């Protein structure tokens, strides 16, 4: 048996721990393992495929990033190919990918990725590839699993930042607006904001009203709390506006969103007269070492993915359904984006302790 492993989409802390566990448990079964580098690039002549041995995965579980590299611009069904006039055209290179996989003797593929990569996995599965998915995103927005690895580390990074912002905001009587990742789902903003006692939490699931945000800030001001902390997910938007789009994306890349915090800080300052500043936490949420929780979850996912291959669970992905790791059809993940349930006790508790959602 020869299996291959790939990592696609934005990185998330814990990827290396998944790779290590999958490789070691495959080797333990007597299988060979190949690593496809840079998403599916290694099967498309854009990068290489390398043997993954005990040595290749030694000492990597605690490291961020992915030893296989990754890309968010390599969809083989919509591959951006430069034309003679310099423009890009989307080309279907999936047959070429399958042919290359066959020629390398790959019997099955474990692919680690978010919604985009899982959608590619599903299409490759439908074309006959024996594939098992491992869900990955720091946004925690994949359906079918309670948590994805990388989320806990991102939340802890955001908590540490909010703790730091508290002391400087308080010394200057400022409003500090911090933007965290979360394109479609506000889990990072909600969990970090509530744990680090932010005053306002704005998430894509609840369009916000700037007047309501300002009312919360001024209510605190009247109570002598002259500073406020606002945590906003990058995909949050006002009731009367759209999400904030950042510049031009590269060919093959999804819409780049972000920058909403700057606009909001400006509006708060204009309406309240209080000094408001903003920062984007950005890729700090993705780089560096994973937390213990993420290392363990990632390791469990890696082991479970190899078991799923052994059991022939093609077209399925591993998932956490606390306290167990199970497999569910990849289609479950693709059925809908997992978003914050507004009736969940986390949201109710936040409201009960006085956190504003800007509604
Ligand atoms: O999907 C995870 C995510 O972290 C999103 O929250 C964010 O919009 C996106 O990745 C950014 O990815 P990149 O900067 O790599 O394009």
- Residues whose CB is less than 8 angstroms from the CB of residue 246 and which lie 6 or more positions away in sequence, other chains included: 256, 257, 258, 259
Ligand 1 site-directed mutation target among 116, 138, 181, most atoms within 8 Å of CB: 181
Residue in the block written with tokens 């093959």: 252
| SS3 assignment, position 48 | coil
**Of ligand 1's atoms, which has the minimum distance to the CA of residue 181?**
6
Name residues contacting ligand 1 (CB within 6 A): 10, 72, 114, 137-139, 181-183, 234, 257
Ligand 1 site-directed mutation target among 73, 183, 284, most atoms within 8 Å of CB: 183
pLDDT single digits (tens) 314-337: 999 999 999 999 999 999 999 999
CA of 273 to the centre of ligand 1 (A): 33
CA of 79 to the centre of ligand 1 (A): 19
CA of 81 to the centre of ligand 1 (A): 23
Q: What is the pLDDT, as a whole number, of residue 268?
A: 98
Residue 248 has pLDDT above 90, yes or no: no
Predicted confidence band of residue 288 (pLDDT cuts 50, 70, 90): very high
Predicted confidence band of residue 304 (pLDDT cuts 50, 70, 90): very high
Residue 8 has pLDDT above 90, yes or no: yes
Q: What is the pLDDT, as a whole number, of residue 212?
A: 98
Q: What is the pLDDT, as a whole number, of residue 342?
A: 98
CA of 11 to the centre of ligand 1 (A): 8
What is the phi/psi pair of residue 166, to 5°? -55, -50
Residue 247 has pLDDT above 80, yes or no: no
**Of ligand 1's atoms, which has the minimum distance to the CA of residue 282?**
14
Q: What is the pLDDT, as a whole number, of residue 252?
A: 82
Average pLDDT along the chain:
97
62's tokens: 């605690």
Asked whether the bond before 323 is cis by omega within 30 degrees of 0, the reply is yes
Is the Cβ–Cβ distance between 91 and 81 less than 8 Å? yes
Mean pLDDT, rounded, for 283-288: 97
End-to-end CA gap in the chain: 55
Helix (H) or strand (E) holding 14: none
Q: What is the pLDDT, as a whole number, of residue 250?
A: 87
Q: What is the pLDDT, as a whole number, of residue 310?
A: 98
Q: What is the pLDDT, as a whole number, of residue 53?
A: 98
What are the residue numbers of the active site?
139
- Residues whose CB is less than 8 angstroms from the CB of residue 153 and which lie 6 or more positions away in sequence, other chains included: 13, 14, 138, 285, 288, 289, 290, 291, 293, 294
**What's the distance, CA 93 to chain centroid?**
26
Nearest residue (by CA) to ligand 1, atom 13, is 10
**Of ligand 1's atoms, which has the minimum distance to the CA of residue 114?**
1
Predicted confidence band of residue 251 (pLDDT cuts 50, 70, 90): confident
Ligand 1 site-directed mutation target among 10, 150, 153, 259, most atoms within 8 Å of CB: 10
Q: What is the pLDDT, as a whole number, of residue 302?
A: 98
**Of ligand 1's atoms, which has the minimum distance to the CA of residue 253?**
16
CA of 310 to the centre of ligand 1 (A): 32
Helix (H) or strand (E) holding 49: strand 49-51
Residue 64 has pLDDT above 90, yes or no: yes
CA of 250 to the centre of ligand 1 (A): 14
Nearest residue (by CA) to ligand 1, atom 12, is 10
Percent of the chain's residues with pLDDT above 70: 100
pLDDT single digits (tens) 181-234: 999 999 999 999 999 999 999 999 999 999 999 999 999 999 999 999 999 999
């Amino acid at each position: 048996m020869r299996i291959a492993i790939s990592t696609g989409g934005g990185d998330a802390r814990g990827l290396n721990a998944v790779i290590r566990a999958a490789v070691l448990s495959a080797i333990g079964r007597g299988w060979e393992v190949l690593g496809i580098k840079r998403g599916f690039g290694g099967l498309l002549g854009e990068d290489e495929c390398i043997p993954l041995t005990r040595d290749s995965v030694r000492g990597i579980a605690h490291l961020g990033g992915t030893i296989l590299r990754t890309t968010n611009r390599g969809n083989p069904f919509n591959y951006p190919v430069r034309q003679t006039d310099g423009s890009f055209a989307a080309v279907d290179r999936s047959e070429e990918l399958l042919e290359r996989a066959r020629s390398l003797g790959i019997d099955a593929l474990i692919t680690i990725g978010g919604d985009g990569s899982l959608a590619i996995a599903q299409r490759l599965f439908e074309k006959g590839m024996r594939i098992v998915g491992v869900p990955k995103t720091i946004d925690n927005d994949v359906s079918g699993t309670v948590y994805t690895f990388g989320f806990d580390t991102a939340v802890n990074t955001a908590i540490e930042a909010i703790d730091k912002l508290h002391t400087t905001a308080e010394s200057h009587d400022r409003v500090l607006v911090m933007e965290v990742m979360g394109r479609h789902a506000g889990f990072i903003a909600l969990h970090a904001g509530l744990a680090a006692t932010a005053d306002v939490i704005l998430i894509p699931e609840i369009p916000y009203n700037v007047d309501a945000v300002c009312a919360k800030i001024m209510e605190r001001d009247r109570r002598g709390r002259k500073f406020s902390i606002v945590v906003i997910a990058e995909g949050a938007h006002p009731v009367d506006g759209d999400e904030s789009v950042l510049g031009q994306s590269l060919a093959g890349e999804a819409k780049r969103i972000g920058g909403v915090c700057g606009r909001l800080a400006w509006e708060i300052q204009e309406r309240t007269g209080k000094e408001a500043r903003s920062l984007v936490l950005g890729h700090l949420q993705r780089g560096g070492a994973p937390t213990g929780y993420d290392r363990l979850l990632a390791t469990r996912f890696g082991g479970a993915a190899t078991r799923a291959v052994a059991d022939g669970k093609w077209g399925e992905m591993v998932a956490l359904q606390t306290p167990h790791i199970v497999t569910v059809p990849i289609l479950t993940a693709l059925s809908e984006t997992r978003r914050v349930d507004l009736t969940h006790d986390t949201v109710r508790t936040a409201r009960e302790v006085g956190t504003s959602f800007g509604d």
